[in-house]
Amino acid sequence: MLLDPQDCYVRLGADGVAEPLAGGDAFWSLPHAELDRLGGDWLISEFEFSADWPSWEMHPNGDEFVYLLSGSIELLLEHDDGIRTFAIAGRGAVVVPRGVWHTARVHAPSRMLHVTLGAGTRTRAVTPKEL
């Protein structure tokens, strides 16, 4: 089965089953309870970014694997002792630890692949002084 990760996300279940799911708006418009159920397993998704992320996000239930496929970004991770910045151009990956708030500055149009346990994800707005 051929999949486009921008249009079709994949849920990796604890039972070893990889389930293709409609991506994009079709996924994010699912009822909250359904999103939480699907977020209990690993979710693989791909996104294109042409601007800085407007929010910080945090995943309380697991680390997140963030893989830059193309473009140029800075991934910002908020730790107790301050913000750590990871500059990535072309391609490269960062593992964002469970419970760490993170956001991205986009320096060139970018494609990113994300692998995470999404249940319980929290977000908060980025303020202009933070970036």
pLDDT at 24: 87
Q: Using the structure block, give the residue that is written with the tokens 């494609």.
A: 111
Count the domains in the chain: 1
Domain assignment present for 3: no
Q: Is 111 within 8 Å of 46 (Cβ atoms)?
A: yes
Domain assignment present for 106: yes
3 state DSSP class of 69: strand
Domain assignment present for 45: yes
pLDDT digits (tens, 9 = 90+) for 9-51: 999 988 899 999 999 889 889 998 888 888 889 999 999 999 9
- The greatest distance separating any two alpha carbons of the chain, rounded to the nearest whole angstrom, comes to 46
CA distance 31 to 20: 18
Q: Is 113 within 8 Å of 39 (Cβ atoms)?
A: no
Q: At residue 32, what are phi and psi to the nearest 5 degrees?
A: -55, -40
CA distance 127 to 131: 7
pTM listed for this prediction: 0.90
Domain assignment present for 72: yes
State the amino acid at position 9 in one-letter form: Y
pLDDT digits (tens, 9 = 90+) for 62-118: 999 999 999 999 999 999 999 999 999 999 999 999 999 999 999 999 999 999 998
Domain assignment present for 122: yes
pLDDT at 131: 60
CA distance 100 to 91: 22
Residues 6+ apart with CB under 8 A from 119: 36, 37, 39, 40, 61
pLDDT at 17: 92
What domain range includes position 82? 8-130
Domain assignment present for 1: no
CATH number at residue 37: 2.60.120.10
Neighbours of 110 (CB within 10 A): 19
Domain assignment present for 78: yes
DSSP class of residue 28 equals: H
Domain assignment present for 2: no
